[in-house]
Amino acid sequence: MEPISTALTGLALARSGIAFIKENINSVQDAAQIGQQLASVFQGFDEFNKERYSQKTGFKDVASEMIEYKNLQNSLYDLKVQINMTYGHGFYESIVAERKKRIEERDEKIRKARIKRRREIEEAQDILIKIFVTAGIIGIAGVMLFLSI
């Protein structure tokens, strides 16, 4: 996907999620619906941020990205206030903190799995080296024994 269309998709995703939540937060009782829309807001924000720091250096590109970013931040702030007013002070922040914690835990689990896999590969290589060295020594000893007979 092209960087511009990725950024626009991210913006559209975030905006639609924010609009849905703002319009329906008092009437929607299904936590999954609100959670899904919050997920789309975060995903859209992430997609937009990934493309925000691309190699575009034209004044128009930079200015439009900064304006869009600020508009998205303002909408996100309004959403944050509305969620906190509906579910209690600090609720939005606790969602963000829990998301960050879970991402960090997932990344740490992935990092540990990579380290474990690397260690297993190194151990297997060490065993193979020892087998080849031992086989080589036995082969050389066999040749020497054969030649001495």
Per-position pLDDT tens, the chain of length 149: 445 556 667 777 777 777 777 776 766 666 677 777 788 888 887 777 777 666 666 777 778 878 888 888 888 888 888 888 888 899 989 988 998 999 999 999 999 999 999 999 999 999 999 999 999 999 998 888 888 87
Q: Which residue has the tokens 């128009």?
A: 60
The tokens describing 62, both together, are: 């930079």
What is this structure's pTM? 0.59
Three-class secondary structure of residue 11 per DSSP: helix
Q: Do 91 and 82 touch, CB atoms closer than 8 A?
A: no
Q: Do 43 and 2 touch, CB atoms closer than 8 A?
A: no
Distance CA 21, CA 87 (A): 13
